[in-house]
Structure 1
Amino acid sequence: MSFTASDISVVMATYNGEKYLKQQLDSILQQTIAPKEILIVDDGSTDNTVAIIKTYADDDRIRLFINEKNIGYIKSFEKGMLNATCSLVALSDQDDVWMPHKLETLLSHMQDNIAVYSDSILINEKGESLLKKMSDIKNQLTYDNCLMYAIGAWAPGHAMLFRKELIEKCAPFPTIVTHDFWLGFVASCYGGIQYVNEVLVQYRQHTDNAIGANTRQHGKEKPTKSTRIEIARKRMQMLFEKCPASLPHQKKVLEILAITYRKTDVGSRWKRMCTFFKYRHIILAYKKKSSFMKVLFCIKMFFKIDA
């Protein structure tokens, strides 16, 4: 199926993003192929974010939604995606910079894929390159097996372009995983998310990142061990339940993991470790680990699940 520039909606979630917002909006508006619409969901900013957005009021492609109360970035992105009207959707953070040909390049790789994503380079608060790409931190690759999302993944939303039908398969978005993790997992259940090996985003790192390149949420208290364990159990159960019946093998593996995550007896721990070991090259594909370290990781899963 072929698409055109008029098929693309860009969705951005904002919150107190006045410092970098204009640069990002300009980089979107200056794309070699222009999106049909830019939907911005503001989550109750108290700085000049909304005022900056309103300076673009003469551009009728920009649609602003202001939340009556703070709902968080996951639900803000969901709100924007559900209001998108185009066949394709690209997500945007409020503080990055897009390469001028980002949308054009991703569009050229869509073909029959449900989703594609690219590499990104890290920049600092001043916009200076940190000389490190996302692919230098963890492996960026095509996710064509949902087991690759069993414990994590490395396909960031800011680098994605996907079909609107993916949103319909994802909604409602859970809040125990990030919106882009959920998009990627569901995409991996329906054909996969194709990797485009090209840097198309300058991904800004600063102290106010909601989630930075190290994937840790800044400015939030670290959850307790018991909370992390409970989240891990809920996440695995959720992946099992979402995996479609059309993937019986993967669904069975996720079911085994979901069951053994809930149990603490030796037999369950052993079964969990053996399952990780059997599928270690798939589950750990995104991690830059040697064969030896992958084995050690599997052994660790005998003792803990909040890794």
Structure 2
Amino acid sequence: MSQHTSLVSIALCTYNGEKYLKAQLDSLVIQDYQNLEIIIVDDCSTDNTVSIIKEYQKLRSNITLYINEKNLGFNKNFKKALENCKGDYIAFADQDDMWELNKISKMVENIGDNLLIYHNSAYIDENGIPNGLSKKSHHKFVSGDCAINFLYYNCVSGHACMINKDLLETTPPFPKDFYYDWWFAYTAANTGRINFLNESLVKHRKHSNSSTSADHTDPRSLRLYQFKLFLAHPMTIGSVKEMLLKLIHNYEELRFKKFSLKLFSILIRNAHQLFYIRKKSVYSRLKFLITESTQHQ
């Protein structure tokens, strides 16, 4: 089958999403790419989410709904959605966004032999009004052999990416308390088969109830946890593994030192690669490096 006629699965996980769900479903069912299936897994919603989906099912034969018998939580619910996707490519949808009608066709056209492709997203508020910002307002995008760029920051949003199903075979199970999009992006980056489209193909809703709301875990402890996940990842290439070993060793030494000159030196020497993704001023970057290399009381 030609790439441009391949089956594409849209994986959508829902939970109490009645407020914005219709707008998202409207944008999915009018996609100009024809060979689509929409796989929806609902995680025991208590509002009208399921009723809304069933109304759309009556009109669209390519919508399949699975309703969990018990609440699985996002990671397990998402895993279930992936397991039921039959497409050669899989795109991920949030329940409260709105897609441009050519999102899927653009991504299929440009994915080539990459395992993952992603794009920019324009931000809207709770009322659907653009605020003038986008993902690229705060992040730089990367492609190719760029795994080291993903150690501190992630520029790939789940709602903005599509994967080749082959990526599922090389990606280990999603770790607890870690973002699935970052895990997919890191895996693809280690193979060098990741690319991006410099277009905004989703209106991404930013609001207080979003599942991506801020995590209040101590940032440095979280980073150390993530570094160890990356180190254990079977696809991590040698040069990235060497960097991770140095970072982990020096972060752990901070338990016994007020300031780690070694860690500061590593960070400042490799700042262009390690911190490339996140847009910051020189002052903010330097302040971050000093804080990162200083023992927390």
- AA aligned opposite 1:281: H
TM-score normalised by structure 1 residue count: 0.88
What displacement does 1:152 show? 1.6
Match of 1:302 among 273, 293, 296: 293
Cα separation, partners in 2 of 1:304 and 1:27, compared to 1, 3 Å = farther
2: CA distance between counterparts of 1:199 and 1:122? 10
Find runs of 4+ consecutive structure 1 residues off by over 6 angstroms: none
Contact in 1 for aligned 2:10/2:91 (Cα 8 Å): yes
The change in CA–CA distance for 1:5 and 1:208 in structure 2 (over 3 A counts) is farther
2:231, 2:241 within 8 Å by CA — same for their partners in 1?
yes
The answer on whether the counterparts of 2:259 and 2:294 sit within 8 Å (CA) in structure 1 is no
Q: Distance in 1 between matches of 2:136 and 2:221?
A: 30
Which digits, 9 at most, give the CA deviation of each residue in 1:164-187, with x for residues without a partner?
A: 121222241112211111111111
Q: Does the residue aligned with 2:212 lie in a helix, a strand or coil?
A: coil
Assess, with a 3 A threshold, how the Cα gap between structure 1 residues 156 and 57 changes in structure 2: closer, same or farther: same
Equivalent positions of 1:98-117 (< 5 A) are: 98-117=99-118
1:251 maps onto 2:241 in alignment: yes
**Residue 231 of structure 2 aligns with which residue?**
240
Structure 1, gaps ≥5 residues long: none
Contact kept in structure 2, 1:14 and 1:45, CA below 8 Å: yes
Percent of counterpart pairs with the same letter?
31
Q: TM-score, normalised by structure 2?
A: 0.91
How many residues get paired?
294
For 1:28, the equivalent position in structure 2 comes to 28
Provide the secondary structure at the position in 2 that maps to 1:19.
Answer: helix
Q: For the residues of structure 1 that align with 2:89 and 2:183, how far apart are their CA atoms?
A: 17
Q: What is the CA deviation profile of residues 20-67 of structure 1, one whole-angstrom value per residue up to 9, with x for unaligned ones? A: 111111211101103431111111110000111111223232121222
Q: In 1, are the aligned partners of 2:259 and 2:295 still within 8 Å (CA)? A: no
Is residue 274–residue 298 contact of structure 1 (8 Å, CA) maintained in 2? no
Counterparts of 1:41 and 1:269 in 2: how far apart (Å)?
A: 47
Tell me the distance in 1 between the aligned counterparts of 2:199 and 2:244. Answer: 32
Which AA in structure 2 matches 1:26?
Answer: D
CA distance in 2, matches of 1:157, 1:82: 17
Query: Is the deviation greater in 135-144 or in 110-119?
Result: 135-144
SS across alignment from 1:76: helix
Runs (5+) with no aligned partner, structure 2: none
Segment of structure 1 superposing worse, 280-289 or 139-148: 139-148
Counterpart of 1:7, as a letter, is L
Please name the residue that 2:55 is paired with: 55
Q: Cα gap change, 1:268/1:240 in structure 2, threshold over 3 Å: closer, same or farther? A: farther
- Give the secondary structure class of the aligned counterpart of 1:77: helix
